[in-house]
A and B are shown apart, each in its own frame.
Chain A
């Protein structure tokens, strides 16, 4: 028998390469996993501890809010939209209601605008405190969770006192806000306003939040292990971040000084003195730190707003049955997670003809395949956590 030399060489090479190659493994991270913040699924191809191809799979939480909005009236839609990003439910309502008001041409009373602003900043504080709680947990430190959540509870108590809901306030009406306090009686007219003592309680709560933020700063920021785990991990250059549509604190951590609160006029932010914190390297530590600094700025805004809140009505005169005139508009706002926008098309009916919702988390997780290329499995968790997304905000 004559041996085919080429075949022999081919076979021997094949056996060598088979022997040297360690087979890759496909690892499903999620949809049920403690660190995916809900039902996100990552299909990771891993070689040992190193992942070289990570694909996010979303849609497990799709609830069809854009479509449902088309068969709801404008006041009913706020109920839907504050379930999008449920850790800062209040902040989701404002841009939608501002879009509807813009089409209607309603002038919102100043006091109502201030209340919207105060509550939006409180939603931001509570959302960032959730991040402060969960991020160290993902790195293995359980204790900051309790310190952060305790302070978040104070903020949520205030929100509940004003709106009646901790997570889903449903507090905005077209033309103003509607406090639960003082209303609800058909026979007796009571002046509707914020609950008594709200401002004093808020001042106390804000001081406590500031103290807790200092405490978290001391507990987490200088910890050698946190620094070793997060500095230089998951670096997101500003140009890449911008090209993927990353927004909010994640973009600012990369050094881009862009905040819609300074750019847009959906709420009277121009009256207040606050800074936009930015990071230097765009790594996980910067993303963590920018959010910490943002809590301090939000506290500053709330304190200034309480000092300068004007008196007046909370609600503009609007018709009983609201029909928004023909037209379309886009309103975007700086939400805790990033840029949130509503593209509202009206054909003159009681409800939207089409509502396109641009959510921050959806764009922010589009960076995942890029940023998780070739990282270790522990870093997948560290990077994913630092992007701070909510699955309700991704799938809506």
Chain B
């Protein structure tokens, strides 16, 4: 290992991994790496969007009713917060490329503030939904706003009663299927927004670490690429929400 380090004495101030020849190669690898990582993320969320699309097609009315129960105003607020945070993020990366350290810290700080704001709003949204028994599982309850709507929606699978006497079915009380289709919506809603929230949380960790590293002038963040990587990730989290918000909150709203 020692011979390798001797070969690159000039790179000492910047962190170039032992496997790389020079900083450019390392930066290229980081950029390619983050984009490939985002491809895996797209596939990860893609399966969920597919499930949402198919079930929405199968249970259009139930899904419409269910997402009318969501608070679209809070969702709107969150969309606004996230979009703003993406602007701050872009400004932070710009400041970093210009080597304005305190400005970078300010923009990055604002981004983090927005991220916390997003999660706070989400907390209030989730609390309200759980209070209304919209969290899927044994406690789930759905009271249809108007029965006429429900009657009109004939489900694809007719099952008026759940089979009884089979182990593991205890949680499911026999109910008309359209009641469960609402649960289907809320299951996907909680999983998709929950996983998105998890990504926001990871984003806070990543950007927070970057903020600290920049604040202490750590040599690893001397180059702007690490912040750029964090930024690309953050924009991705933003984009997922941009698809999530209209598909889950808006479409079909009366």
A, B: real partners: no
Residues of B within 8 A of A (CB): none
